[in-house]
Amino acid sequence: MADLKRGEAFKNTDYVLASTLADAHDQRWIMVTYDIWCSYHKNLKQRFCQWFPGMLDIIDKIRGAVPKVHIKNHRLLCQYLWALNFLRYSGETSGELIEASHSEQNGAAASTKEQNPGHRHDSIDGVVNYWNWTKFRTMRKLTLVIARLLYRSFMRCLDTLKTREKQFAGYASRMGPALVKEWEAMDDTPRIIDNDVRSVHRPTFEKEWEAMDDTPRIIDNDVRSVHRPTFEKGPPTLAKAYEKLRGEETAFRKAGLEGTGMTENIRKALDIEYMQLDIKRFIKTRSNSGADKDMLSAARQRLKDQIDEWRPQQILLFPKLYDEFHSRISESLYDIDPEDEPLLLPSSFSEPHRMRLGLELAGKVEKELREGRAHDRLEEVRTSIQTYNHHIALKAKEVRSQRHITRSQAIINSLRDDIRRPAHHYNKTREALLNLGLPVQDPVLQELKDTELWAKNTALPKKLGDSRVQDPWFWHIGYSGETSAEKIQFQREMDRVKYFRERALRDRAREEREILEEEFKRTIRSYEVLQAAWLGQAENVQSLGSRAYAHKQAAMLGRLGKNCRKQHTKVIEKAEEYDKW
């Protein structure tokens, strides 16, 4: 311990660091966490070269970081350069353990602030010595739980690692192998360029794109260019399903089979259905103003025109639907608004009813189209969430006055609606798919709840607790691949940041596992060395009492070592089970 001059002047801190590491010449790596490491490290080597030249080899081994809680009070640059979450080989280290002793020392603050330097030093020494003596006095109880503590930590680490491995694997599979290979080739070392930090864990947009090579190339008989989006094989989209089904219809027509025209008819019906959903949503949120009434009237008229144009084609393709149309729509006792008019799609009927109406093939077509549209809607949800997060980051950074804050809130509310709208469409599509035979527990197209419409904000530095939070399920299924080039660039950049952050979490968990394995081995070795030391003392003393005490301590350390080896064996067995997964 040392007094700090004028806040946290470095010379006393240098002396403390030199005293602490004086015997660390044999260490291969040294990790130092310090609240102000970002400024402390800058001339550290020059200061040691002047005052502690014999320790320069130790300084070269040091890697530094800012503790996880303190770093949130640093500027943005520090949060990417010195964050333990992004620093290799740091495991789950928090760097805040020294703060635990402050709770004991704070009780003496009322006295020490009134004391002179010598008296204050003696008082603080007394408090710290008491803290150490208390730990030593209860060492018998503490050491009995060290092995169990390591065991619990290791098991918790395995659970965390399994979760993060699954999450990262799911996310990487959504990106596609070519994109992952490109990202893996990137250097993940943060750098300062033009007084700004560049890191794979931070989104960069136009500057990075301008640095890309815009020369088109032919690869595998295909052109690759920055002006053309490149997609990997992903899940079905509406466009993919439509093209596939149209191709099948062409084959049916050539073979003289039925089914021609139903793909186009059902696709139009799905478009009409979404128009109905949008009008219903508008009715719930509209005001009673004349403008909103005019908008509603115009939307209803457009929808009615679409239905009137489409319905005869449906009846022509599926003549057995005429009786259903006649009884439920044309002879209805009440006027039906166009947004409430039943479309009589195969998903509207039970399976036996579909068979009676001859809609089996139409049901298969509708199911494929709806699966593609469901993935399209999920992609819209993801893009809308990323856009919302990006605007939240801009608001926090740029918006200041009350007037601008109020206006920006209207934009934020609009972006929230942009998230809810495709989510609502997705759930309606999923309900229809359930009627068409989709399993309720389908692992891909799951129910999308309002509480899941979020993601960790990759436009901002990581927050405390992010490593323990998992993004919702829909972030780990594939791309739809149907969007504009500008949206692709934005989305890919945010996905890249998310990929590297998820990879960093996985890597820290892997490192923590290796660290805990070494902690077990080191603890066992320390018990063995201490036991041998006490046995050596027993042989060198003449007093029977001293000899008995030495044997007692050696026996205790032997029991502790045996218990630790037992827990270590259990851990190895659990780790082998995990590795099979």
**pLDDT tens-digit readout, 43-61:** 999 999 999 999 999 999 9
Token couple for 340: 């409430």
306 within some domain:
yes
Boundaries of domain holding 254: 238-482
Instruction: Name the H helices within 61-205.
Output: 76-81, 102-105, 109-112, 117-137, 139-175, 177-184
Q: Which residue has the higher pLDDT, 370 or 142?
A: 370
Q: Could you tell me which of 48, 69, 66 has the C-alpha nearest to residue 57?
A: 48
242 within some domain:
yes
564 within some domain:
no
Percentage of residues in the chain having pLDDT higher than 70 = 86
Rounded to an integer, the average pLDDT of 453-461 is 82
**HEC string for 323-344:** HHHHHHHHCCCCCCCHHHCCCC
Q: What is the pLDDT of residue 15?
A: 92
474 within some domain:
yes
Q: Decide: 519 and 157 in contact? Cβ < 8 Å.
A: no
Number of domains in the chain: 1
Tell me which DSSP letter residue 18 carries. H
Strand partners, 62: 30
- Phi, psi of 168, rounded to the nearest 5 degrees: -70, -40
Q: What is the pLDDT of residues 282-329, one digit of tens each?
A: 998 888 888 889 999 999 999 999 999 999 999 999 999 988 888 888
27 within some domain:
no
Q: How far is CA 395 from CA 71, 343, 400, in A?
A: 22, 43, 8
91 within some domain:
no
CA angle (477, 480, 482) in 5-degree steps: 160
Q: What is the pLDDT of residues 105-132, one digit of tens each?
A: 888 888 998 999 899 999 999 988 887 7
pLDDT band at 97 (very low <50, low <70, confident <90, very high): confident
Q: Could you tell me which of 394, 498, 553 has the C-alpha nearest to residue 172?
A: 498
Q: Is the pTM of this model over 0.85?
A: no
Q: How far is CA 169 from CA 57, 177, 469, 502, in A?
A: 40, 11, 16, 10
CA angle (289, 291, 297) in 5-degree steps: 105
Q: What is the pLDDT of residues 9-35, one digit of tens each?
A: 788 899 999 999 998 988 888 999 999
Q: Which residue has the higher pLDDT, 89 or 395?
A: 89
273 within some domain:
yes
308 within some domain:
yes
Residue type at position 173: S
Q: Which positions ≥6 away from 148 have C-beta within 8 Å?
A: 567
Q: Decide: 503 and 188 in contact? Cβ < 8 Å.
A: no
Mean pLDDT for the chain? Answer: 84
Rounded to an integer, the average pLDDT of 241-257 is 62
Q: What is the pLDDT of residues 418-449, one digit of tens each?
A: 999 999 999 999 999 999 999 998 888 999 99
CA 515 vs. chain centroid, Å, equals 23
Q: What is the pLDDT of residue 223?
A: 45
Tell me which DSSP letter residue 445 carries. S
